[in-house]
Amino acid sequence: MSVGAESIIAVSGSELDSLADIFKAIGDPGRLKIVHSLLARELCVHELAQTVEMTPSAVSHQLRLLRGLKLVKRRRDGQRIFYSLDDAHISTLLSQALLHVREG
Amino acid sequence: MSVGAESIIAVSGSELDSLADIFKAIGDPGRLKIVHSLLARELCVHELAQTVEMTPSAVSHQLRLLRGLKLVKRRRDGQRIFYSLDDAHISTLLSQALLHVREG
DNA sequence: TGAATATATGAACATATATTCATATATTAA
DNA sequence: TTAATATATGAATATATGTTCATATATTCA
């Protein structure tokens, strides 16, 4: 699904604030690593902690924030809780930003 | 120009850090308002300050940061300095995030 | 039940950061 | 040159925030 550039012009103040919340969320290196790790497949907290080299506690704190913004969702499987992306647009977001980094 | 979702999987650590810098930049409400204001047309510092309801000094500080990330560029016209977006991908970034906000 | 594992959470702390204020620089006009 | 306008910048401050640590909750297995 694509959006014309003109539609971004008409954005309410509260929508802008919501957008800022999302960008701020993936603007933290740790949280961005978490989100990036979940692009490939769902991961439990323990796996995420190892992958992004953070303590399980720190990961859990950040997952809570990401979940509050509905960027990730979770499902329990026994003792473990698996997290996955809850947003079809995130990979596009990352891809577009990557273009800026690589072309700039 | 579009990018397949798979290409975002292979991203180096330093690229992820650069991505985080970009998202953090537009993750601040004030800076996001600035960027959003520049979607329509170029604006001088004075106009931007009025538009986003910040002091010229605060706007100048944030423009400096945005310019460092090559998200905006500037040109002098007499006493005034006009700022404009220096990134073709930003409107796409904002549009995709807006989809999340509106669909979620 | 009790132990072990996995995850969550509140408080505290250390760091990062956005704004303000004072001041500096640059351009234009008188 | 002098005054006025526009923008930039450094220092200081107040606030926000990511991590750590201790602890709590939940599930599984012996």
C-beta of residue B87 within 8 angstroms of C-beta of residue B71: yes
pLDDT of B101 reads: 85
pLDDT of B3 reads: 59
Q: What is the 3-state secondary structure (H, E, C) of chain A?
A: CCCCHHHHCCCCHHHHHHHHHHHHHCCCHHHHHHHHHHHHCCEEHHHHHHHHCCCHHHHHHHHHHHHHCCCEEEEEECCEEEEEECCCCHHHHHHHHHHHHHHC
Tens-digit pLDDT profile for residues B65-92: 999 999 999 999 999 999 999 988 898 8
Which residue of chain A is at minimal alpha-carbon distance from B102? Answer: A15
Provide the CB-side half-sphere exposure for B54 (13 A, CA).
19
Contacts of A3 in chain B (CB under 8 A): 92, 95-96, 98-99
State which nucleotides on strand C lie below 7 Å from a protein beta carbon.
5-11, 17-22, 26-28
Tens-digit pLDDT profile for residues B1-13: 555 667 888 899 9
**Whether CATH 1.10.10.10 fits A10-103:** yes
**Whether CATH 3.40.50.300 fits B12-103:** no
pLDDT of A70 reads: 96
* Residues of chain A scoring pLDDT < 70: 1-5
pLDDT of B8 reads: 86
pLDDT of A4 reads: 62
Optimal mutation site among A31, A51, A96, A98, interface B, most CBs of chain B within 10 A: A96
Domain boundaries, chain B: 12-103
Tens-digit pLDDT profile for residues B11-65: 999 999 999 999 999 999 999 999 999 999 999 999 999 999 999 999 999 999 9
Contacts of B37 in chain A (CB under 8 A): none
pLDDT of B55 reads: 98
pLDDT of B2 reads: 55
